[in-house]
């Protein structure tokens, strides 16, 4: 039996929560801001209002820590009817700076896997987020030399991947995408007739979650960690 990945020449990787920890820091920040704004609302209400503010601001700020911080500040002003103290706003800004300065914590087996795969495949990085922040994390990660191409995009929809593959002269049949988000890393590629491998992370932002209906009849593989991809690619 032939391996279904035998024609793959290029492998794309998501960055946040696929190569390194990211979403965990956002959840921690949400808990901190809930404590700061406890005089105005319950933690659950603050969490709901922050999510709504983030979604409203996505077209303006895009993804990443900076947009997240601006949404926290705006939400704090709204919940407090513009009475929140300067000290609280300053604390929210400090939360954002702390997130940006977090060390890059690689997930299990990431570098070893990239090192092995880079010997036989062309590797590219395809990630959403703030350009400066993603470049900083990639530099800190020590993984930069494994990638032939780095692409930071504002969205990860079918048209975005199609544009990227065309730009890099990659046939969908020769491309494999690896990521933790079914919505952003898997389903768009499946729809383009490329291959996709899902590597779930224990925390997923609500905006990235999909329903069973959306994944029904979609063909992709799921592994528990990045090193398992090597076995998937070589199995007969």
3-state class (DSSP) for residue 20: strand
Q: Where are the alpha helices (DSSP H) in the chain?
A: 23-36, 43-61, 65-79, 86-100, 110-117, 131-141, 158-167, 187-191, 212-215, 228-234
pLDDT tens digits along 71-82: 999 999 999 999
> What is the Cα–Cα distance from 195 to 109, expressed in whole angstroms?
22
> What tokens does 212 get?
């069973």
Would you place residue 202 in the very low, low, confident or very high pLDDT band (cuts 50, 70, 90)?
confident
> What is the Cα–Cα distance from 42 to 47, expressed in whole angstroms?
9
The mean pLDDT value for 144-159 works out to 93
pLDDT higher than 90, residue 29? yes
Tokens 């039996």 correspond to 1
Would you place residue 22 in the very low, low, confident or very high pLDDT band (cuts 50, 70, 90)?
very high
pLDDT higher than 90, residue 201? no
Least confident of 112-121, 142-151, 210-219, 225-234: 210-219
Domains parsed from the chain with CATH numbers:
10-20+104-234 (3.40.50.1000), 23-100 (1.10.150.240)
User: In which region does residue 184 sit, left (phi positive, over 0), alpha (psi from -120 to 50) or beta (all else)?
Assistant: alpha
| pLDDT value for 236 | 57
pTM here is 0.89
The mean pLDDT value for 42-52 works out to 94
pLDDT higher than 80, residue 215? no
pLDDT higher than 80, residue 207? no
Check residues 75 and 1 and name the one with the higher pLDDT: 75
The mean pLDDT value for 171-180 works out to 96
Could you tell me if 210 and 184 are in contact, meaning their C-beta atoms sit under 8 angstroms apart? no
| pLDDT value for 209 | 64
pLDDT higher than 80, residue 217? no
């Amino acid at each position: 039996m032939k391996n279904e990945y035998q024609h793959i020449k290029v492998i794309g990787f998501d960055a946040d929560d696929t190569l390194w920890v990211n979403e965990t820091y956002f959840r921690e920040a949400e808990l901190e801001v809930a404590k700061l704004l406890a005089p105005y609302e319950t933690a659950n209400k603050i969490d709901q209002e922050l999510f709504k503010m983030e979604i409203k601001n996505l077209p303006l700020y895009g993804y990443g820590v900076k947009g997240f911080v601006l949404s926290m500040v705006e939400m704090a002003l709204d919940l407090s009817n513009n009475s929140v103290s300067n000290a609280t706003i300053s604390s929210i800004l400090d939360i954002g700076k702390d997130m940006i300065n977090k060390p890059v914590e690689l997930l299990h087996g990431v570098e070893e896997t990239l090192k092995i795969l880079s010997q036989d495949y062309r590797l590219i990085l395809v990630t959403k987020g703030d350009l400066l922040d993603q470049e900083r994390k990639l530099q800190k990660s020590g993984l930069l030399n494994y990638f032939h191409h780095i692409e930071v995009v504002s969205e990860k929809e079918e048209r975005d991947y199609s544009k990227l593959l065309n730009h890099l002269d990659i046939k969908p049949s020769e491309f494999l995408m690896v990521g933790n988000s079914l919505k952003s890393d898997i389903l768009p590629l499946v729809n383009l007739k490329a291959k996709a491998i899902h590597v779930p992370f224990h925390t997923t932002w609500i905006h990235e979650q999909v329903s069973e209906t959306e994944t029904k009849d979609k063909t992709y593989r799921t592994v528990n960690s990045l090193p398992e991809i090597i076995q998937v690619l070589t199995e007969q």
